[in-house]
Structure 1
Amino acid sequence: GYRDNAFERVELIKQLGQRLPDNIRVLQSISFLSADECLKPIKSDILGLAHLFTEDSSTLTKIDFQWKKLHHTIWTETSNTLKLWSEVANYRDATGENPYHDLAEIALTALSLPHSNADVERTFSNMNFVKSKLRNKMKLSTLKAILTIKYGLKRQNTCCASYELPSDILRKIGTVEAYSYKISAREPEPSTLHASSSTVVHTTKRTGMQLLLNN
């Protein structure tokens, strides 16, 4: 009846609140950085967002000043937000300085944050896939390295099976330089180290990054 529907609506509102991020105001502030908004002569205040990244009063003053004069410069990448802020970060005036350095740094930092629960959940899903029950003793540094490689390959639109390692990296595999922290704990036999080195280098040349991501 009516009471059941009311309880269902209340429960639905609770679940909706749980799905929304706690930093919803931060996300609203980030929308000010869009190419359409940030180039308007009259735009929203940027200091609310800037306060989340720095408390230095002089830096905040610079950011506010740079934000207010941003539309005075003629930009070419006005249809894509990320490309626009990349252009702002690389901009140089007649003196070779970037008059928007502080603003661009804050903007790119804010835009690099995950903006939805889906992004965070996707990252945790990949983390659980890499650090499975069979590999529950994996160190955090190894997990971070594998995830960095996975996302790096994705950004380059390439696959681990076809990726070619740089020659200087291949030369280090199996050498004292690459495994010095292990060798200091337990010195292996020279013959064993040599055999391991040649095997790893040969296998890596054959399969690229596949061993690291699939094992």
Structure 2
Amino acid sequence: MPGKRLKECDALQDYLDPKPYLGYEFEKNMSECKFPEEIASDIRRRCIEFVIELVTQLRQRLPENFKVLQSISSLSGSECLKPVKNDILDLVKLFVNNAEILTRIDFQWRKLHTIQWIQTSDTIGLWAEIVSYRDATGENPFKELSDLAITILSLPHSNADVERVFSQMGIVKSKLRNRLAITSLNAVLTIKYGLRRHGKSCHDYKLPESVLRKIGSLESYQTSSESPQPSTSTQSPTEGDPREIIEWDLADLQ
């Protein structure tokens, strides 16, 4: 099947070469061993069956949206800065429905390589640089594109990423702390992963003075958009309250 592009649903056996080439090392060893024709054919057949089974199982392990994952690779620094690059409109349409914004992103994608960027070897660093870029007018000419790229890159792209988050969530929200509110749980996980990204821990991270002043007060739980309203629910005051006050265990920040 040299040169044949197979689809995911195609049966591999229907396109096999009757006498496939199995590599230099295999062919060299087969010629040196001088097996009888029957044994040599059986060895070759078993090797072919092994490769077919390997490819079949790899196909079964691919997610249904693996084409989307393939298109995300276009956002890497080595791909997005090429003068001639893949179109990303199919990927963008999964996140954007507005035709005007789609047009802007398309134009921004096509002229992205015209700027001399610094962080070209690091994908995250490159898009962080693009987000903070400003032209002579103080505007970011790549705003829609960079916002979309950061959104896509921040999504979990493997089951392992999701499993790690669920594992940490199970550690934080234990049986003794089962009534922990979602906002509080999200805050603890954000702090944990934020410290990890900066290579810090609760032992060596220095809190800003503005944060230290809020400790022991309700200031950090109040927002300007909130207005006190009488509750008509029969739920207990502490159950599911997103503004509940928690005793932050030091171990939660490690």
Scaled by the length of structure 2, the TM-score of the pair is 0.63
Return the letter of the residue paired with 1:135: R
For 1:4-61, what per-residue CA distance to the aligned partner results, in whole angstroms no more than 9, with x for missing partners? x99xx69x83x973x5434322211110011111111211111111112110000000
- For residues 109 and 173 of structure 2, the distance between their equivalents in structure 1, rounded to whole angstroms, comes to 43
Which of 104, 115, 140 is 2:146 aligned to? 104
Match of 2:211 among 145, 169, 173: 169
Partner of residue 144, structure 1: 186
Distance between the aligned counterparts of 1:137 and 1:176, measured in 2? 20
Count of residues in Structure 1 that have an aligned counterpart in Structure 2? 184
- Asked if 2 retains the 8 angstrom alpha-carbon contact of 1:161 and 1:210, the reply is no
Alpha-carbon distance between aligned partners in 1 of 2:182 and 2:101, rounded to the nearest angstrom: 34
In structure 2, stretches of 5+ residues that fail to align are 1-45, 223-227, 229-235, 238-246
Contact 1:21 1:116 in 2 (8 A): no
Structure (1/2) with the larger helix percentage: 1
In the alignment, is residue 54 of structure 1 matched against residue 96 of structure 2? yes
How far is 1:170 from its partner?
Answer: 2.8
| Deviates further, 89-98 or 47-56 | 89-98
Alignment of 1:60-209 (within 5 A): 60-177=102-219
- Choose between structure 1 and 2 for higher RCO, CA contacts under 8 A separated by at least 6 residues: 1
Which residue of structure 1 aligns with residue 82 of structure 2? 40
Q: For the residues of structure 1 that align with 2:136 and 2:253, how far apart are their CA atoms?
A: 47
Give identity over the alignment, percent: 53
Q: Deviations over 1:142-176 (max 9, x none)?
A: 11111011001101111113323333333322235
Q: Relative to structure 1, is the Cα distance of residues 166 and 92 closer, same or farther in structure 2, using a 3 angstrom cutoff?
A: closer
* TM-score after normalising by structure 1: 0.73
Unaligned runs of 5+ in 1: 187-199
